[in-house]
Amino acid sequence: MNNTMPNLSRRSFVIGSAAVGSGLALGLNLPFASRLARAAETTPEITAWVVIKPDDSVIIRMARSEMGQGTMTGLSQMVTEELECDWTKVSTEYPTPGQSVARKRAWGDFSTGGSRGIRESHEYVRRGGATARTMLIQAAADEWKVPSAECAAANSIITHTPSGRTTTYGKVAEAASRLPIPKDVALKDPKDWKIIGKRMRRLDTMDKLTGKQIYGADFKLPGMLNATIKECPVFGGKVKSFDAAKVEGRKGVRKVVQVGDSAVAVIAETWWQAKTALDALPIVWDEGESAKVSSATLAAALKEGLGAEQAFVGNKNGDAKSAIAGATKKVESVYAYPNLNHAAMEPLNATARYTPDRCEVWLGTQNGEAAFAAVLAASGLPADKCEVYKLMLGGGFGRRGAFHDFVRQAVLIAKQMPGTPVKLMWTREEDMTQGRYHPLTQCKLTGAFDSNNNLTGLHMRISGQSILNSVRPEALVNGMDPATFQGVAASGEFEFGYAAIPNFLMDHAMRNSHVPPGFWRGVNVNQNAIYMECFMDELAHAAGQDPLEFRRKLMTKNPKHLAVLNAVAEKADWGKPAAKGVFRGLAQMKAYNSYVAACAEVSVTDGNRVKVHRIVCATDPGYAVNPAQIERQIAGSFVYGLSALFYQECTVKNGRIEQTNFHNYNSMKIAQMPKIEAIVMPSGGFWGGVGEPTICVAAPAVLNAIAAATGKRYRSVPLKNHGITLV
Amino acid sequence: MAKMNVNGKNYDVDVEPSTPLLWAIREQIGLTGTKYGCGVAQCGACTVHINGAPVRSCSMPVGAVGAKKVTTIEGLAPDGVLTKVQKAWLENEVPQCGYCQSGMIMAVTALLAKKPKPTDADINAAITNICRCGTFQQVREAIHAAANA
């Protein structure tokens, strides 16, 4: 990735293709953006994906954000596949949201979350590459005065087949940029792919090895000041007063400002000056009613929801309640999952420059358009006077996607220093205590058996926070949050894998709190996988059956779910004895349209020292664009998921989050890293996600293995609360 | 005013002696490869070398560094030729977001200087950096690759 800002007006030859589909849903309402359109119809410059310079270098422009997951490399592979350009000459660049809006969203959706980066843009980016190739070939054919059908392109070289004449993309790029955009270009059959599906090298590694890579935290402008901020630690509280005079005389401090009605910031020459001044600034908060809330009161509200009459039904089959009432044997368990912070390595930050005529912001964001919308709202300026420039993210995991509270703050601060660029960067402590937390839930599961130990009924009652109710209430369906049922849904990308259970019911008693919930890598599959897959093991145990065989009987209607489960069982030698003291556990789920399963191997010593030796993981994402990066996402997702399982929770006392830094919100280190063996088994015909799906199977597979080792079921996490140490 | 030697160059920096080395490096000298992650020596993103030893610069006051030689990620390959650790990182495609990797590479470089052929146990004891992307499997492979290069 280039560190430089894209300069879309520079003299280079823009080859386009904006033959994009019209099926993309807008994630937000922007003043000028209604739907995708062919920008070429309204602007002399052709859009959008491919820039080719005279030296044959290829710049691929993408709206999605790179935050380590490799999406820019994967998307570039897709463009390159159809463009038939030289991969060694490819680099990438971000268009700006302002440009995109002005050009009727020529680059499509900027949102990079929900593991959608590739699976929801593969078609239009491949078409972008194919269209550009068609135009380049046409330009060469025109120059040679031969039919384009007699010409072919490979590796950025165009050949007139009958004569053997050749030219390069760089030489015909300018002529190609003036051609009309062909309407219908054919895409390759997946069996002909040469770049998609290969372990191509990431395009963005080098600068990350030398310190050259510029993240938002590193960005500088001439004359820039630095700020840091403190928001009322009780969510929903306000600033009552603060004593600016106490710190205004400190060296480097330029201004102490209130930000909205709930935060105070110090602006100084350096960030360290701002930080130390803010630490010394007396602030009195109006904490409000929520200051009475604690984890105990939140848990009590959720517990009540477990037995509540009213609940939203997310999925059902037959009559689970009757099956349970008439059961020969019943099994019932209650599970709980905490609030969690994203804790991306790079604390939240944004640099803003405001004048009454223009507002610009530089930041790492998972959604440039959402950041842009936040700039418009906070600045009060129209879209043609605002711009957002995207920088590399030091991790996102959902915190930098739907939430641009820090962008609003940066703009509100910059408005109090017109003309001077100000970089706002949060402390880690602010990042920990002003999160958008993984939702707090509990779950009661009830299973019913007949006299032959057949599972006849299953009721899953979820009680707890809804993300959509807080973040996107317009997405609720008659009050219900469908995302609550991720992994146990009736159909679609989170389809339940045990459809053969004759009677089942999944319902949700929504119990919200003042703690703002958010999308956290994997979102609701994290807890639903623990709830369902650990309970499946409990049911198998109650029936006296092998956990794999027990599941298989319930998966006869879900062959793709079963295929990944079988794959991990086979590779992990399920059914054969493990090494002495080693025990195995299984889990499977469909998430983000990929089928995933895991088999974990653990040993437990002294009753509480857990070693995770190995996890075999399988994923069927339909198509595997870059298996090397998929393997890394699997291993990485397990680190994120297992860190939560063993260490992490955000608890509430006096209305505020108690955990403030990595010393009390621990994260796994290399010493605890198990060996991850990935099975990437794309079966074709659909597109599944990669970054998030596998996270959810790590925790239940490990919990099931711990239960196999110890006979103990831990139904609440993190495991540190049960005295367990990960070694 | 404090005197510093960073990557072989001498600097006079205008900060209080209590200012953490991290912020002198980032805000006074202007080298931003060394990252702020936690500020309390927990994550290791700010790891630099002082006289060759790995130090978490967020918790090291400038006043305590004095004239000792500080090396940052930018100082590892000043002539553009990657070190064997950086090469192993490139070959094994270790970074994801990359934000922690400056500190990770500095910690590993110091480990290999002391123990050229570290065992897995040596690695577990010496490398305690946090990586939220979860690159540890590649980190371990790359350390062994660098040791055998």
- Residue A272 distance to chain B (closest CA, Å): 7
> Which one of B34, B95, B128 has the shortest CB-CB distance to A205?
B95
pLDDT for A107 beyond 90: no
> Which one of A396, A428, A669 has the shortest CB-CB distance to B128?
A669
B40, B95: one domain: no
> Which one of A395, A425, A662 has the shortest CB-CB distance to B99?
A395
* Token reading at A609: 């020292």
pLDDT for A5 beyond 60: no
- Residue B126 distance to chain A (closest CA, Å): 9
Under 8 Å between Cβ of A382 and A389? no
B140, B98: one domain: yes
A675:B73 CB<8 A:
no
> Which one of B31, B86, B127 has the shortest CB-CB distance to A670?
B127
- Measured distance CA(A617)–CA(A699) in Å, rounded: 12
pLDDT for A377 beyond 70: yes
Return the residue of B nearest to A630 by Cα.
B96
> Which one of B129, B132, B140 has the shortest CB-CB distance to A395?
B132
- Measured distance CA(B102)–CA(B86) in Å, rounded: 10
B130:A667 CB<8 A:
yes
B135:A636 CB<8 A:
yes
A214:B32 CB<8 A:
yes
Return the residue of A nearest to B94 by Cα.
A205
B97:A393 CB<8 A:
yes
Return the residue of B nearest to A614 by Cα.
B137
A392:B139 CB<8 A:
no
B107, B62: one domain: no
A215:B93 CB<8 A:
no
pLDDT for A610 beyond 70: yes
B73:A210 CB<8 A:
yes
B11, B38: one domain: yes
Count CB neighbours of A300 within 10 A: 12
B8, B66: one domain: yes
A344:B132 CB<8 A:
yes
- Residue A146 distance to chain B (closest CA, Å): 45
Strand partners, A153: A158
- Residue B141 distance to chain A (closest CA, Å): 11
Residues from chain B contacting residue A205 (CB–CB below 8 Å): 89-90, 93-95
> Which one of A392, A632, A671 has the shortest CB-CB distance to B138?
A632
Residues from chain A contacting residue B96 (CB–CB below 8 Å): 68-70, 632, 636
- Measured distance CA(A588)–CA(A298) in Å, rounded: 30
Report pLDDT for A34: 28
> What integer best gives the mean pLDDT of chain A?
92
> What integer best gives the mean pLDDT of chain B?
97
User: Which CATH number is B119's domain given?
Assistant: 1.10.150.120
Q: How big is the A-B interface in CB pairs under 8 Å?
A: 172
If one counts the domains in chain B, the total is 2
Which pLDDT band holds residue A1 (cuts at 50, 70, 90)?
Answer: very low
B89, B106: one domain: yes
Residues from chain B contacting residue A424 (CB–CB below 8 Å): none
A347:B125 CB<8 A:
no
B97, B36: one domain: no
What does the pLDDT look like over A460-489, one tens digit per residue? Answer: 999 999 999 999 999 999 999 999 999 999
Residue-wise DSSP of A106-161: TT------TT-TTTTTHHHHHHHHHHHHHHHHHHHHHHHTS-GGGEEEETTEEEET
Of A20-34, A250-264, A552-566, the range with the lowest mean pLDDT is: A20-34
B10, B45: one domain: yes
Residues from chain A contacting residue B42 (CB–CB below 8 Å): 661-663
**β-pairing verdict for A225-231 and A422-425:** parallel
B92, B71: one domain: no
> Which one of A206, A211, A628 has the shortest CB-CB distance to B102?
A211
Burial A147-178 (b: 16+ CB within 10 A, else e): ebeebebeebbbbbeeeeeebbbbbbbbbbbe
User: Which CATH number is B44's domain given?
Assistant: 3.10.20.30
B68, B6: one domain: yes
A271:B45 CB<8 A:
no
| Residue that finishes a domain, picked among B58, B75, B92 | B75
B136:A209 CB<8 A:
no
pLDDT for A2 beyond 70: no
Mean pLDDT of the B52-72 span: 97
Mean pLDDT of the A539-558 span: 98
pLDDT higher at A6 or B32: B32
What does the pLDDT look like over A295-322, one tens digit per residue? Answer: 999 999 999 999 999 999 999 999 999 9
Residues from chain B contacting residue A673 (CB–CB below 8 Å): 136-137, 140
Residues from chain B contacting residue A202 (CB–CB below 8 Å): 93
> Which one of B32, B72, B133 has the shortest CB-CB distance to A395?
B133
| Residue that finishes a domain, picked among B75, B100, B133 | B75
Domains of chain A, CATH where assigned: 13-209 (3.30.365.10), 216-288+348-425 (3.30.365.10), 295-340+437-726 (3.30.365.10)
Within 8 A by CB and 6+ apart from A626, the residues are: A70, A73, A74, A77, A197, A198, A199, A200
| Residue that finishes a domain, picked among B46, B75, B104 | B75
Question: Residue B41's domain spans which residues?
Answer: 2-75
* Token reading at B40: 């309390």
> Whose structure tokens read 């239960």?
A707
A272:B27 CB<8 A:
yes
Which pLDDT band holds residue A103 (cuts at 50, 70, 90)?
Answer: confident
Within 8 A by CB and 6+ apart from A711, the residues are: none
Helix (H, G, I), strand (E, B) or coil at A430: helix
B127:A394 CB<8 A:
no
B36:A217 CB<8 A:
yes
Burial class (CB in 10 A: 0-12, 13-18, 19+), A86: middle
Residues from chain A contacting residue B31 (CB–CB below 8 Å): 211
| Percent of chain A's residues with pLDDT above 90 | 85
- State the helix-helix crossing angle for A169-177 and A122-144, rounded to 10 degrees: 100
What does the pLDDT look like over A16-55, one tens digit per residue? Answer: 333 232 222 222 233 332 222 323 322 222 337 888 988 8
Report pLDDT for A495: 98
B6, B50: one domain: yes
B100:A345 CB<8 A:
yes
- State the helix-helix crossing angle for A122-144 and A71-83, rounded to 10 degrees: 30
Q: Kindly report the pTM of this predicted structure.
A: 0.94
A272:B86 CB<8 A:
no
Report pLDDT for A109: 86
B43, B107: one domain: no
| Percent of chain A's residues with pLDDT above 70 | 94
